[in-house]
Amino acid sequence: MAGVSGRWPGQLRRWASRLLVEMNAEAKPDFSMLIESIAKRPAMYLGNASLQSIGHYLAGYCDALRDVGVSASEIEGFIVWLSEKFLIFHPAWHWTRILLHIYQGDEAAIKALPDLFAEYLQTKGGRTLAQLEFDRDIALMATYGKTSGAPADTRTTAIS
């Protein structure tokens, strides 16, 4: 009996993994609903109401989706679009730092997330990641003369 039960967990994991992939193969995550829900009650999802925590949550969520074969390109595109919209693209500027800079704090930035995501979907939602990066680079070149740029003065600090 020990031999059978020893094999069962591995078989169960493989079966569950295949089932998740099959279930999610045609499913498309509703990021709009997720972002709206998190923005309404961030402490319920994260334990605290910080934009940095939301950034970590969404990164983990997207990693989990990719692990089961589901695209997270909508969130990835949104992040590229944010850097184009606010003309900030630099290694020291994570998307959460951009929003903290623009909205001057966690509460206002979190409140703005659903509207920003809706604006992204309306203006750029159907574009590929490469097209969004090209659009961002063109906007940055027009502003800074190079494909990166950041505000000279800010009250935010680099976060990871």
Contact by Cβ (8 Å): 66, 124: no
Domain ranges of the chain: 29-144
Lowest mean pLDDT among 7-21, 70-84, 87-101, 122-136: 7-21
Contact by Cβ (8 Å): 77, 132: yes
Give Cβ neighbours of residue 142 (< 8 Å, ≥ 6 apart): none
pLDDT reading at 87 higher than 80: yes
132: tokens are 């969004």
Could you tell me which residue, 10 or 55, shows the higher pLDDT?
Answer: 55
pLDDT digits (tens, 9 = 90+) for 108-134: 999 999 999 999 999 987 889 999 999
* Among 159, 68, 82, CA closest to 116: 82
pLDDT reading at 26 higher than 80: no
79: tokens are 């992040």
pLDDT of residue 19: 59
Q: For tokens 């589901």, name the residue.
A: 70
Give Cβ neighbours of residue 55 (< 8 Å, ≥ 6 apart): 94, 95, 96
Q: What is the DSSP string of 71-134?
A: --HHHHHHHHHHHHHTT-B-TT--HHHHHHHHHSSHHHHHHHHHHHHHHHHHHHTTS-HHHHHH
pLDDT reading at 157 higher than 70: no
pLDDT of residue 3: 45
The whole-number average pLDDT for the span 43-54 is: 89
Contact by Cβ (8 Å): 122, 74: no
pLDDT of residue 15: 60
97-111 per-residue burial string, b: 16 or more CB within 10 A, e: under 16: bbbbbbbeebeebbe
99: tokens are 């929003």
Q: d(Cα 28, Cα 43) in Å, to the nearest integer?
A: 25
